[in-house]
């Protein structure tokens, strides 16, 4: 099981010549989920050679422009591409009104259906998207305005069948292998009962990714990142500007590292860098003092999550 996390923008508030605004794409077996959609997101998708068509869901953390203003343009492009598949858009209450106010973006004007999953300010935890392979859950995090973080989780898959041992036990048909995978006993034509014990390995847990922007360090951020293979966490400032970070509802690199450490995450990617840091090296160095497996997220780089 493998999926890719591709940061599309790692800047904060204002784009620069080298950094775009917030967005990250998760790509799994030809299906995509987008987290945030700052201005310029669809241009980054084009630059990265990333298909916009197979987009199942878009998850918006909050209604600040650097996380949202690319969304109307992207949905318009999907319409121009004659998309017909339905699309789920997740975000705070009010997102539907923002989108419906834009010319051409009401549901009855689009060639595809949009389902809005709006999160109220008093929500605590919700599964906001699910298909046969993954779930996406949301929790409120702590910013100047209402904001949600997300966890993308592959579902646990059945254990693998030892094909050679199963055939030796008399298993020959596809449906019999599938039954063993479900840990069901199989009765052969001669009445022999073949049990799955010893023939089927343990269940295989899926990979997990957490998207935690914009926020001060908080318990819900830790819960979203608990045990994940990769967490993309904002690190707008170094500790030198910790007071500023607290004032504007952001995290320092050290605080992001503490969240990753306390959550038992395997790898931390820092993002949402203030323009004052032309080079994110000081942020990475600060975080590595707490959580060594830290990198600065690079735009259009593919970070593989494998279990």
CATH 3.40.50.1820 describes domain 2-157+207-306? no
- Distance, CA of 200 to CA of 112 (rounded, Å): 42
- Which of 67, 220, 54 lies closest to 141 in space, CA to CA? 220
Our answer to whether residue 4 is catalytic in this structure is: no
- Which of 272, 274, 239 lies closest to 253 in space, CA to CA? 239
- 125 marked ligand binding residue: no
Q: If you ran DSSP here, which 8-state letter would residue 159 be given?
A: P
- 67 marked ligand binding residue: yes
The pTM is what?
0.90
- Distance, CA of 272 to CA of 194 (rounded, Å): 55
Domain range annotation of the chain: 2-157+207-306, 158-203
State the catalytic residue, choosing from 36, 56, 66, 229: 66
- Distance, CA of 24 to CA of 212 (rounded, Å): 11
Q: Is the dihedral of CA 123, 11, 241, 290 positive or negative?
A: positive
| pLDDT tens-place string over residues 153-202 | 999 888 888 888 989 889 898 998 888 888 889 999 899 998 888 888 88
Q: What is 252-275 written as a DSSP string?
A: BHHHHHHHHHHHT-S-EEEE-B-T
Is 89:99 a contact under the CB 8 Å cutoff? Answer: yes
Centre a 10 Å sphere on the Cβ of residue 200 and count the other Cβ atoms it contains: 21
| pLDDT tens-place string over residues 5-19 | 999 999 998 899 999
- 66 marked ligand binding residue: yes
- Distance, CA of 239 to CA of 251 (rounded, Å): 9
- 20 marked ligand binding residue: no
Q: Enumerate the β-bridge partners of residue 152.
A: 136, 209
| pLDDT tens-place string over residues 281-294 | 999 999 999 999 99
């Amino acid at each position: 099981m493998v999926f890719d996390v591709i940061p599309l923008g790692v800047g904060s508030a204002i784009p620069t010549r080298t950094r775009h605004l917030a967005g990250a794409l998760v790509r799994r077996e030809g299906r995509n989920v987008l987290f945030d959609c700052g201005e310029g997101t669809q241009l980054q998708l084009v630059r990265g050679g990333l298909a916009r068509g197979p987009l199942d869901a878009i998850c918006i953390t909050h209604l600040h422009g650097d996380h949202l203003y690319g969304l109307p343009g992207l949905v318009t492009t999907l319409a121009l591409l004659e998309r017909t598949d339905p699309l789920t858009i997740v975000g705070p209450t009010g997102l539907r009104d923002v989108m419906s106010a834009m010319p051409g973006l009401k549901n009855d004007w689009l060639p595809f259906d949009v389902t809005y999953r709006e999160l109220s300010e008093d929500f605590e935890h919700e599964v906001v998207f699910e298909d046969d392979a993954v779930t996406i859950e949301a929790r409120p995090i702590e910013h100047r305005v209402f904001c949600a973080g997300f966890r993308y989780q592959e579902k646990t898959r059945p254990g693998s069948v030892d094909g050679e041992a199963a055939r030796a036990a008399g298993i020959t048909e596809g449906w019999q292998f599938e039954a063993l995978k479900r840990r069901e006993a199989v009765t052969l034509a001669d009445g022999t009962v073949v049990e799955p014990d010893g023939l089927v390995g343990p269940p295989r847990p899926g990979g997990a990714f957490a998207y935690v922007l914009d926020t001060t360090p908080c318990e819900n951020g830790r819960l979203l990142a608990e045990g994940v293979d990769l967490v993309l966490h904002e690190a707008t400032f170094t500790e030198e500007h910790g007071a500023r970070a607290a004032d504007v509802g952001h995290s320092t690199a050290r605080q992001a590292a503490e969240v990753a450490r306390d959550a038992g995450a395997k790898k931390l990617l820092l993002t949402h860098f203030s323009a004052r840091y032309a080079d994110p090296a000081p942020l990475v160095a600060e975080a590595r003092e707490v959580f060594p497996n830290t990198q600065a997220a690079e735009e259009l780089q593919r970070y593989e999550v494998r279990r």
